[in-house]
């Protein structure tokens, strides 16, 4: 029997009786990172990196959570588990699993470009590599982030010059902080949506440096917004919450903004292609760097990407999972994340 198998609860290691990122409650869960589709409610015991722990606790409340450092080996019934930087968001990890010379890596979500905020991705040698394929099509190719942030700041500057408010959207955890980190604060002040500011507080408390931000509340005079920028969650757009900003220019930051159709559907004035996932060239590079022959393709363009890998000589299979990638950044469905964000925004 292989060291890791896949069942209707998640990625399972029978020998150690643990799951990686399970989507149904299990006794023992190893968590790659704090996004809602990877760390879910209801498990009895959790294990994550120390850096990922505060956000997971903030989201899931009082859970039984044990932490490890990157690279530290944790042995369970003879199986060696270790967490390695995935470069996706702060604290995110690839989980390496080894038993009697058989080595697997479950990479969760990851990107190769160093974003300057989280521990950069480190390739981990293995025989079996579990990879996402959120942007696993050759049409997805990111431009370097310096160029992208120059575009974002140009747009903010132009919007400010018109005396309007700039609003940019991204996930409360990860994308929002990456946007904050790239903004040119000489242009104006940064305001944040409640769900984002809550996450910022958790991250600042663990020592992460972020620029100064002001939470959007009823107490802020509406006249203060024009000329400045508001970082908001995707779910907040189209809600009464945005009315206070008047005739604002709305931008969405997401890998999906590559496509004209997605940009237009989103109804944003601008779409910036900013993702915490791999683009096509870096997915291929990452797979090559692991040296693995056996590739398991999860969430994204699974069928197409695995077929492509088979043509390149890999033994690749597609897997059905409940992971979502960046989906919630363009879909307005009531996912946990979105409804929670809205609930938080309403509390203000």
Query: Under the rule (CB under 8 A), what is the footprint of other proteins?
Result: 137-141, 256, 258-265, 267, 269-270, 301, 303-304, 308, 311, 330-333
Query: In whole angstroms, how close is the CB of 130 to other proteins at the nearest point?
Result: 21
Here the tokens at position 10 are: 């998640």
C-alpha 7 chain-centroid distance: 24
Query: In whole angstroms, how close is the CB of 264 to other proteins at the nearest point?
Result: 5
Largest CA distance in the chain: 65
Look-up of token digits 């033994």: 315
* Main-chain phi, psi angles of 255, to 5 degrees: -60, -30
3-state secondary structure of 306: helix
Distance CA 325, CA 44 (A): 25
Q: Report the residue number, 100 or 333, with the smaller CB distance to other proteins.
A: 333
Query: In whole angstroms, how close is the CB of 334 to other proteins at the nearest point?
Result: 9
C-alpha 133 chain-centroid distance: 13
Query: In whole angstroms, how close is the CB of 271 to other proteins at the nearest point?
Result: 8
Q: Report the residue number, 165 or 192, with the smaller CB distance to other proteins.
A: 165
Distance CA 344, CA 347 (A): 5
Q: Report the residue number, 119 or 302, with the smaller CB distance to other proteins.
A: 302
Query: In whole angstroms, how close is the CB of 311 to other proteins at the nearest point?
Result: 7
Q: Report the residue number, 221 or 247, with the smaller CB distance to other proteins.
A: 247
Query: In whole angstroms, how close is the CB of 7 to other proteins at the nearest point?
Result: 18
| CA quadruple 152, 158, 161, 164: dihedral sign | negative
Q: Report the residue number, 102 or 322, with the smaller CB distance to other proteins.
A: 322
Residues β-bridged to residue 169: 232, 252
Which burial class, exposed, middle or buried, applies to 205 when counting CB atoms under 10 A from its CB (0-12, 13-18, 19+)?
exposed
Q: Report the residue number, 40 or 84, with the smaller CB distance to other proteins.
A: 40
């Amino acid at each position: 029997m292989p060291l890791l198998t896949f069942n209707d609860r998640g990625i399972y290691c029978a020998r150690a009786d643990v799951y990686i990122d399970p989507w149904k409650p299990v006794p023992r869960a190893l968590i790659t990172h704090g996004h809602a589709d990877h760390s879910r409610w209801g498990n009895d015991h959790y294990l994550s990196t120390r850096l990922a722990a505060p956000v997971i606790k903030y989201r899931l409340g009082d859970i039984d959570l044990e932490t490890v450092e990157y690279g530290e080996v944790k042995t369970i019934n003879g199986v060696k588990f270790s967490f390695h930087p995935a470069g996706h968001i702060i604290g995110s990890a690839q989980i390496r699993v080894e038993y009697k010379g058989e080595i697997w890596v479950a990479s969760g979500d990851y990107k190769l470009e160093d974003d300057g905020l989280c521990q950069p991705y480190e390739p981990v040698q293995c025989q079996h590599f579990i990879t996402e394929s959120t942007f696993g099509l050759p049409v997805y190719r990111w431009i370097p982030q310096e160029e992208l942030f120059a575009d974002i700041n140009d747009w903010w500057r132009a919007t400010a010059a018109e005396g309007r408010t700039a609003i940019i959207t991204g996930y409360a955890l990860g994308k929002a902080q990456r946007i904050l980190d790239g903004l040119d604060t000489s242009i104006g002040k940064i305001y944040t949506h409640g769900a984002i500011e809550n996450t910022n507080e958790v991250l600042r408390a663990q020592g992460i440096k972020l620029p100064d931000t002001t939470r959007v509340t009823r107490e802020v005079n509406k006249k203060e917004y024009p000329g400045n920028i508001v970082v908001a969650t995707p779910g907040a757009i189209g809600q009464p919450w945005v009315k206070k900003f008047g005739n604002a220019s709305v931008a969405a930051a997401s890998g999906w903004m590559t496509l004209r159709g997605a940009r237009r559907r989103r109804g944003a004035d601008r779409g910036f292609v900013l993702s915490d996932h791999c683009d096509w060239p870096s997915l291929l590079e990452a797979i090559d760097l692991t040296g693995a022959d056996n590739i398991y393709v999860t969430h994204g363009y699974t069928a197409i990407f695995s077929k492509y890998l088979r043509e390149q000589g890999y033994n690749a299979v597609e897997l059905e999972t409940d992971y979502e990638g960046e989906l919630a950044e363009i879909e307005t469905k009531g996912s946990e994340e979105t409804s929670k964000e809205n609930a938080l925004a309403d509390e203000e």
